[in-house]
Amino acid sequence: MKRSAQEIKQLREQLDELTGTGQLRLVSDQAAGLHPSDLADLIESLAEEYRVEILCMLPTPLASQALVEMAEGEDRAQLLAALPAEKIAEFLRALPDDDATDLIGELEPDDQRKTLATLPVDEAGDIKRLLRYDEETAGGLMTTELVEVEASLTADEAIRQVRILGRDVEDFYTVFVIDQERRLLGTMRLDDLVVADPGASIKALVEEPSVTVSPDEDQEQVGKLLGRYNLAAIPVVTDEGVLLGRITFDDVIKVIESEQTEDILMLAGVTDEDELKHTWVQSVRTRLPWLMLNLATAAIAASVILVFKDLIEKELTLAFLAPIIAAMGGSSGTQSLAVTIRRITLQGSGSARGFVAKEILVGLVNGAVLGVGIALLAFLIDGNVMLGLVVLLAMWGNQIVAGFAGAFIPTRLDRAGIDPSIASSVFVHTLTDLLGFFLLLWLASHLLL
């Protein structure tokens, strides 16, 4: 049932009152009408002491799905650890194996073993197999529950088989066509199968799969392929082409969102994609190392000022101009960097030459305009034409390098297999700081005195 944010807030307030008076039964009656995603939010907003009780009171299918929809992290892990083992097993039995694996993956190894022991042998086996894959790979995302038909059937026979197999499979949009060795021959969208001529043979209807992935494929790549080819589900196959499982669009949307969070945060020097769920202590731990690195590089760049101390003493306007030129290099470098990193994420780092050249050109033009601007400012303050020329050249040079570095460094890093987001940011800013200070003061020492 759909609820507006307003309705959910009202419900939240009612629940606060009810939990205050201990009438948990009433709370769970209210909550039973929610969508699992809304229920997940509600549970996350409740005090810890009520979470376990509410979950145990709610119908198992709803409660288990709400657990899946809760944000991954300490909160959920604690809640899982607090649930009775039989209740967890009951929840897991109600879930598709990929969701069950995600939940079990958050338990301590001991609790994992205990819980798996309470499950039917074949379900426990599926989950154990899935647990072996890295969470951020195709194997970590896939479910082994799918609807498959053999190519030798007619459309009518296939639909009859889909009707039987489909009862145990959640949300299948794609029918997988296999041979007798369970090798994938192709896929059919369920809607194509439904409208097909009943007598047509599946062999004639099947599309060779436009794309398959191996279980070790990185989740980011899975997201790119599904988006690019507009697929509702991607088949996961072994090297021999045997069908292992499928990954559906809804899992992929979550992957795309979390990969994008990672990109944005990395670019800003926040190295942990789970930052949004962190307590302040965890945030200090993940952000401080990068800030300390920044302090070191900023100090190295600024030490150029110490080298030219005597010059600055004679011409104090330079102390005013130096941080401006460095900061503007940083601004342009950040623009170029963000565009390049987004380009790499969406299109890969191939064929970069034209792209780097474009960024240099942009720096050349922007640098000329900004250089004239700061030269006028310097002249107004100081009345010295030569100082104007010095800052013009320093700004211009630094802008060109900023454009070049912002495009070139991440492209190179990506080709070398290094995530470009965080390393590039440090490189580019150190370079533009250092060069900004140096160009200004070196030119001033040669042209001014």
**Residue with Cβ nearer a second copy (109 or 350):** 350
Residue of the chain from 94, 227, 442, 448 that contacts a second copy (CB under 8 A)? 227
Residues 419-448 that bind a second copy (CB under 8 A): 433, 437
Cα 45 to Cα 25: distance, rounded to the nearest angstrom: 18
**Residue with Cβ nearer a second copy (121 or 316):** 316
Residues 140-169 that bind a second copy (CB under 8 A): 159, 162-163, 166-167, 169
Pick from 214, 220, 215: which is nearest to 346 by CA?
A: 220
Cα 236 to Cα 133: distance, rounded to the nearest angstrom: 13
**Residue with Cβ nearer a second copy (201 or 286):** 286
Residue count, binding to a second copy (CB under 8 A): 106
Residues 185-224 that bind a second copy (CB under 8 A): 189-191, 194-195, 208-212
Q: What is the DSSP string of 6-64?
A: HHHHHHHHHHHHHHHTT-HHHHHHHHTTS-HHHHHHHHHHS-HHHHHHHHHHS-HHHHH
Residue of the chain from 7, 13, 171, 216 that contacts a second copy (CB under 8 A)? 171
What does each C-alpha distance from 37 to 69, 183, 210, 324, 380 come to in angstroms? 6, 36, 32, 48, 61
10 Å CB burial of residue 252 (0-12, 13-18, 19+) is buried
Helix 74-82, helix 48-57: angle, nearest 10? 60
Task: With beta carbons less than 8 A apart as the criterion, state whether 155 and 198 touch.
Answer: yes
Please provide residue 265's backbone torsions phi and psi, each rounded to the nearest 5 degrees.
Answer: -65, -40
**What is the CB neighbour count within 10 angstroms for residue 133?**
19
Pick from 71, 60, 144, 62: which is nearest to 101 by CA?
A: 144
Cα 20 to Cα 26: distance, rounded to the nearest angstrom: 12
Cα 58 to Cα 27: distance, rounded to the nearest angstrom: 10
- Nearest distance in Å: CB 116, a second copy: 26
User: Of 134-142, 237-245, 318-326, 412-420, which segment contacts a second copy by CB under 8 A?
Assistant: 318-326
Q: Does 46 contact a second copy by CB under 8 A?
A: no
Structure tokens at 327: 């900061």
Residue of the chain from 70, 79, 158, 328 that contacts a second copy (CB under 8 A)? 328
**Residue with Cβ nearer a second copy (118 or 384):** 384
Residues 248-287 that bind a second copy (CB under 8 A): 249-250, 252-254, 256-257, 260-261, 263-265, 267-270, 275-276, 279-280, 283-284, 287
- Residue 221 CA from chain centroid, whole number: 12
User: Of 17-25, 51-59, 293-301, 409-417, which segment contacts a second copy by CB under 8 A?
Assistant: 293-301
- Nearest distance in Å: CB 25, a second copy: 24
Q: Is the dihedral of CA 192, 198, 204, 208 positive or negative?
A: positive
Residue of the chain from 21, 181, 199, 306 that contacts a second copy (CB under 8 A)? 306
**Residue with Cβ nearer a second copy (76 or 124):** 76
184-189/174-178 β-pairing: antiparallel
**Residue with Cβ nearer a second copy (14 or 37):** 37
User: Of 48-56, 100-108, 119-127, 329-337, which segment contacts a second copy by CB under 8 A?
Assistant: 329-337
**Residue with Cβ nearer a second copy (238 or 331):** 331
User: Of 16-24, 83-91, 111-119, 332-340, which segment contacts a second copy by CB under 8 A?
Assistant: 332-340
Please provide residue 292's backbone torsions phi and psi, each rounded to the nearest 5 degrees.
Answer: -70, -40
Cα 336 to Cα 135: distance, rounded to the nearest angstrom: 32
Residue of the chain from 291, 385, 418, 447 that contacts a second copy (CB under 8 A)? 291
Residues 338-377 that bind a second copy (CB under 8 A): 338-339, 341-343, 346-347, 358, 361-362, 365-366, 369-370, 373-374, 377
**Residue with Cβ nearer a second copy (236 or 265):** 265
Q: Does 381 contact a second copy by CB under 8 A?
A: yes
- Nearest distance in Å: CB 176, a second copy: 13
